[in-house]
Amino acid sequence: MWSHGNFYWNELNTRNAEAAKKFYGAILGWTFEGMPMPDGTYWVAKLGGAPVGGIFTMSGPQFDGVPEHWFSYIAVDDVNVRVANLKAAGGAVIKEPFDVPNVGRIAIVKDSNGAVLGMMTPAGN
């Protein structure tokens, strides 16, 4: 179950998913399940069979100069409404809301100081 306004999901944005899987598997005991995406495989990290985070492979020119980093998503009740509120409050949109089947509706945004985050209305519970 998710609650509006809470951090909901964290993912590692990396250029080398295989090395990251090996590292986090060794230090935390995570296992990984691949989820095919249009641009490659998204890796869901699991602990004891339960999802705990994800690994996204950064590829393409849009990621030139972007360091590897952990990225957080905040659950919101209606991503479209919250993106409109964000714009009105001085934030900016990097990627307008889009749907990920069986995951939810997501937007990638910047707050009024330039910090980047994801907003997500999760699918189901």
Q: Residue 109 in contact with residue 94, Cβ under 8 Å?
A: yes
Q: Where in the chain is the domain with CATH 3.10.180.10?
A: 10-70, 76-125
pTM as predicted? 0.87
pLDDT in tens, 60-117: 898 999 999 999 999 999 999 999 999 999 999 999 999 988 899 999 999 999 999 9
User: What is the predicted pLDDT for the residue at 38?
Assistant: 83
Instruction: Supply the DSSP symbol for 68.
Output: P
In the chain, helix, strand, coil percent, each to 5?
20, 50, 30
The contacts of residue 16 (CB under 8 Å, 6+ apart) are: 57
Share of the chain above pLDDT 90, in %: 86
User: What is the predicted pLDDT for the residue at 125?
Assistant: 64
Q: Going by CATH, does the domain composed of 10-70 fall within 1.10.1040.10?
A: no
Q: Residue 6 in contact with residue 117, Cβ under 8 Å?
A: no
| CATH architecture of structural domain 76-125 | Roll (3.10)
User: What is the predicted pLDDT for the residue at 37?
Assistant: 85
pLDDT in tens, 21-46: 999 999 999 999 999 988 889 999 99
Q: What are phi and psi of 85, to 5 degrees?
A: -65, -40
How close are the terminal C-alpha atoms of the chain, in Å? 5
Buried b / exposed e along 40-63 (16+ C-beta atoms within 10 A): eebbbbeeeeeeebbbbbbeeeee
